[in-house]
Structure 1
């Protein structure tokens, strides 16, 4: 199982290297093609749209065709789209490649998420492993922008990042082809893949966990999309923190995710999540009430508490379904993740632009944090998913 685990970890790391570098690439693209901010932001929206469609339309492919075939299809498509960046110089074609690459991510990521269930021995172990996987995603989110920054500082094209990702992807395909996969029972193809997804939307667990994830993603995007704008030009107390605020956030998020592996193996997940939800809310309230002098510290520190929210909600949502449906439910959750990643920062940007200050967009993010914290507290009190998680644990993980 060690090779399967490392394959999963490295797929997430590779994907994050490109997806989390978009914010660093966009300023160069804007200058190169003489674009406005809205047009330049299409680099982000094209990728997220592709991932959303790939997840919701093709997520059940991992259940029907098998994990290995689906991973190879997704990695192959991603590698080709990334390599093509070396041969084109058109902004429109870049968007097409990003959209295709997003679809590829939606394919192999849902298969990878389903694979986590295959190698887990319990729902608790599933959640702990998911935090490690997202920890590697966080490492990729640090490596990718660092590579772009190095390239740009040496007058090299940002497109080299995609060539590096394509080579990395090729190596992962070799591993994915040769590694032995655990035996799983394929899902019966009773309907079209889209029908599978729509059927899951009637499930209360799918809706509940997807809603929580949408709220969380809205909060997180406020940090990595709009915090640099909020702190731009800040020269008050702690101004040195402002320069490295986003890097500190990403580093604390990685530390928290690996720490989450330890916490969730030892403590009840509902208690840990409720405490982290309240801590995130306090960080955002401090930023709103105290202004930029408090925001420069409180917002980056929130990364430590945000770290386990997404992987844990994702894991519990997936674990409420039988293993042969893990690909399909992963696609549904991934769809809601990407929808929020597009709409939430757009809404915050419009609010900030209309009212004349980026801080007003953080009022909306704070409202998201308040609703999420309330939901996690209620989840701690009533624990509505506990019976289903125990049932699935007995059926899917019992030896």
Structure 2
């Protein structure tokens, strides 16, 4: 394994570290700064909006400055933002620091995903996303350690900021590797990257179907992760602790599923992995809907986690094949942006619907999201199979 690939793996862990910090630290932050409970939601929304904006502009920025330099600057932005969180004198300063935190995350995500899709095999894409899950798991553990040790939430943010700063130094020292970092087993670049606008990218054949798939993938994952505990608690009478354990098993299923999918992808092509994952999600949702004992709902939720595991990495890895290597950065930037939009909008939308209809709506809502994702994916693959491939900007 090349040095650059090791660094990219570390970067994916680093990408996951801050993503789940706010939720785990918020009770302590709120108590110290005197913030209302809903402020956490507005902070998370600020980070998400900035991430979406960064993803939308990532194509222009990466085309000009290249992936390596953008990654260094983006990780530096997250390090500074986390340092700002650690020394925040007020809630408003947290909002100020949420801006570079979101902007940095969006550029890293879009840049690294496209770089891996171009230069490395599908197995690495799955494993890299499982390493993101490791980071997202370790972040709250670091925060919990500092809070339990009476160091406070500020030391948790400071620790993550220092880890990010070390990664910045490593990335800066290895900038030269990014130009020749392709895996020898991956296809060689068949042309230079072509800059096209987001509007031009959306006009490419089949781009709309691809975006639809990413929106409803993210809707499936985020809504299941946020609401499965409430569903089990309110509908099946689970205790809060037991329901939370199932939620952790859902995320554990995603992480473990991506580790396993990395090995499967060595023998199975990405389109088939996508289909298998989506059909597993359908089966999981149906298990929750059917009038069976509550344990089957637990199994269904874990199945949805395992099913979603290979879908996102495989769809990203297929992007250069579906749309051309020369314009893939533009498409990946849009895919990341609409995925964030889907996750940001879907979970609160379900909350509003559940307030009127009831929590029993949960499995039907998830099934609808999965079916839209499945139909969009199958239509896209069918059109590509018929030869309706995208024309690049030079044609």
Contact 1:29-1:40 at 8 Å conserved across structures: no
User: Shift of the alpha carbon at 1:110?
Assistant: 2.2
Moved more, 257-266 or 57-66: 57-66
User: Which runs of structure 2 are paired with 1:129-208 in the superposition (5 Å)?
Assistant: 129-179=124-174, 180-183=177-180, 187=193, 196-208=197-209
CA distance in 2, matches of 1:375, 1:201: 15
Cα deviations across residues 246-276 of structure 1 (Å, max 9, x unaligned)? 2212222111112111222212333332222
Contact 1:114-1:323 at 8 Å conserved across structures: no
Moved more, 149-158 or 180-189: 180-189
Specify the alignment match of 1:263 in structure 2. 264
User: Shift of the alpha carbon at 1:30?
Assistant: 4.8
Q: Secondary structure at the match of 1:307?
A: helix
Q: Secondary structure at the match of 1:351?
A: helix
CA distance in 2, matches of 1:237, 1:102: 35
Specify the alignment match of 2:345 in structure 1. 343
Pick closer, same or farther for the CA change 1:353–1:135 going to 2, 3 Å. same
Contact 1:61-1:327 at 8 Å conserved across structures: no
CA distance in 2, matches of 1:367, 1:56: 27
User: Alpha carbon RMSD of aligned pairs, Å?
Assistant: 3.0
Unaligned 5+ segments in structure 1 are: 190-194, 393-399
CA distance in 2, matches of 1:387, 1:170: 46
Contact 1:236-1:293 at 8 Å conserved across structures: no
Asked whether 1:299 is paired with 2:301, we answer yes
Q: Secondary structure at the match of 1:308?
A: helix
Specify the alignment match of 1:283 in structure 2. 284
User: Shift of the alpha carbon at 1:221?
Assistant: 0.6
Pick closer, same or farther for the CA change 1:308–1:389 going to 2, 3 Å. farther
User: Which runs of structure 2 are paired with 1:354-365 in the superposition (5 Å)?
Assistant: 354-355=356-357, 357-365=358-366
Contact 1:63-1:324 at 8 Å conserved across structures: no
Cα deviations across residues 306-349 of structure 1 (Å, max 9, x unaligned)? 10011111221244344454433221111101111110011011
Pick closer, same or farther for the CA change 1:86–1:63 going to 2, 3 Å. same
User: Which runs of structure 2 are paired with 1:313-352 in the superposition (5 Å)?
Assistant: 313-352=315-354
Contact 1:217-1:341 at 8 Å conserved across structures: yes
Match of 2:314 among 312, 328, 339: 312
User: Which runs of structure 2 are paired with 1:5-44 in the superposition (5 Å)?
Assistant: 5-32=5-32, 38-44=38-44
Pick closer, same or farther for the CA change 1:255–1:164 going to 2, 3 Å. same
Pick closer, same or farther for the CA change 1:186–1:158 going to 2, 3 Å. farther
Pick closer, same or farther for the CA change 1:156–1:118 going to 2, 3 Å. same
CA distance in 2, matches of 1:70, 1:40: 29
Pick closer, same or farther for the CA change 1:82–1:238 going to 2, 3 Å. closer
Unaligned 5+ segments in structure 2 are: 181-188
CA distance in 2, matches of 1:155, 1:28: 11
User: Shift of the alpha carbon at 1:373?
Assistant: 2.9
TM-score where L is the length of structure 1: 0.84
TM-score where L is the length of structure 2: 0.85
